[in-house]
Amino acid sequence: MSVSALPVRNNDNWQKRVDLAAAFQWTARLNMHEAVANHFSLVLDDKNERFLINPNQRHFSRIKASDLLELDIADKSVLTKPDAPDATAWGLHSSIHKYCRHAVCALHVHSIYATVLASLSDSRLLPVDQNSAMFFNRVAIDEDYGGLAFESEGKRCAQLMNDPKIKVLIMGNHGILVIGSSVADAFDRLYYFERACQTYILALQTGKTLRLIPDGIAEKVARQIEGFSGEDSNHFKEIKLILDQEGSDYAS
């Protein structure tokens, strides 16, 4: 079956469901979502054959671990079934996991500041602060938006991220796609990319000259942050602790 009917709890895949569900609910908390649109996915096996994704037309704030669809990357017939995922979610995420095997988790949003950046004729994120320096030489820009991310568009986007160094795709006229080695890794990157875009857009709005970090220092910062151990997982652990303390149903 392409979609698992009853997820099994208390195993490794269940914890992956819990983590992805927490990412959905916290993204809604940060107002980085698009209501019932946008999509997150997470690979479940070493062969990249099965992955989790959000159910079609479910608001990010209501997604629980048990709600997530488990799909077979080779079984496109899932799109014809009653519990089919959004066709653009399938097109983008099946392609990402098929052609970018290093992309264990993929998060696609239309967050406000990143989408503003994607709407500019020059969509580069210049290194104006430490957060933006994190992404120096680690971002691809899609200059050829071709419409909704059905399978052919998804494949084209995936090919822009085949270099393992590239962890963020600025989807021109669309939004962003962020990948990582886990939910914690990808979510941390998504969060800081949006923060960096916010600072950059606000700096542009002043109309004053930007104080750019030199390329060599920006690359140094990016490497230093990549070398930090556990920072992304600690961030995500804190998010889940807050949700737990509030009595959230994300882990159900």
Q: Residue 238's closest CA among 31, 7, 12, 29?
A: 29
Residue 52 pLDDT exceeds 90: yes
Can you give the pLDDT at residue 1?
38
Residue 5 pLDDT exceeds 70: no
The DSSP bridge pattern shows strands 39-43 and 105-109 to be antiparallel
Enter the pTM of the model.
0.93
How far is Cα 188 from Cα 233, in angstroms, rounded to an integer? 8
DSSP-assigned letter for residue 65: G
How far is Cα 161 from Cα 85, in angstroms, rounded to an integer? 23
What does the pLDDT look like over 26-35, one tens digit per residue? 999 999 999 9
Can you give the pLDDT at residue 230?
63
At 14, the pLDDT band (50, 70, 90 cuts) reads very high
Q: What is the mean pLDDT of residues 42-51?
A: 94
Element (H, E) at 229: none
How far is Cα 108 from Cα 232, in angstroms, rounded to an integer? 18
Domains of the chain: 12-245 (3.40.225.10)
Report the chain's mean pLDDT, rounded to a whole number. 93
Can you give the pLDDT at residue 145?
87
Instruction: Give phi and psi for 213, each to the nearest 5.
Output: -75, 130
What does the pLDDT look like over 218-235, one tens digit per residue? 999 999 998 876 667 899
Residue 17 pLDDT exceeds 80: yes
Does 83 or 53 have the greater pLDDT score?
Answer: 53
